[in-house]
Structure 1
Amino acid sequence: MQDWAPVFISLVLFTLLSPGLLFQMPAKSRLIAFGNFHTSVASIVVHTILFFALDAVLLVAIGVRIELGN
């Protein structure tokens, strides 16, 4: 049986943390802007750090496992 947690968790986090899709942090005039579909270098860096931090916490520290099979 294979562990599918890294695939599913990374896919969901990548989708949710894409800068400008749901939110952008930092935005041009505010700290957080929701659903503006814009991005900047600073927001890419912040969202990348958030992605790797949450991915590491969920997969390594907590050890989430999803096993599909018989």
Structure 2
Amino acid sequence: MQPAPLPISPDLWLTQLFASRTAATGGVVRRKTRDIERIVGHERFMAELDRHGFRAVQNGGQTIVFCNREPAHVLR
């Protein structure tokens, strides 16, 4: 059995994420961690975060990306 084809190319997925209005204005975006791993892969996603200077956290199967260069602090 072959894996299902990707619904979107990795390049397009990354372009849409980082070109979104939320990302462009320094906001916060959330994506399912399994989608990131399935569509673009962990290493490439981390490289793109580095390239943009963004930070991200994972919790409960979600990845939250802070689309700015400000420090992120976990409060509790």
Normalized against structure 2, the TM-score is what? Answer: 0.24
Whose helix proportion is higher, 1 or 2?
A: 1
Which structure dedicates a bigger proportion of its chain to strand?
2
Structure of higher CA gyration radius: 1
Higher RCO (CA < 8 A, seq sep 6+) = 1
* TM norm structure 1: 0.25
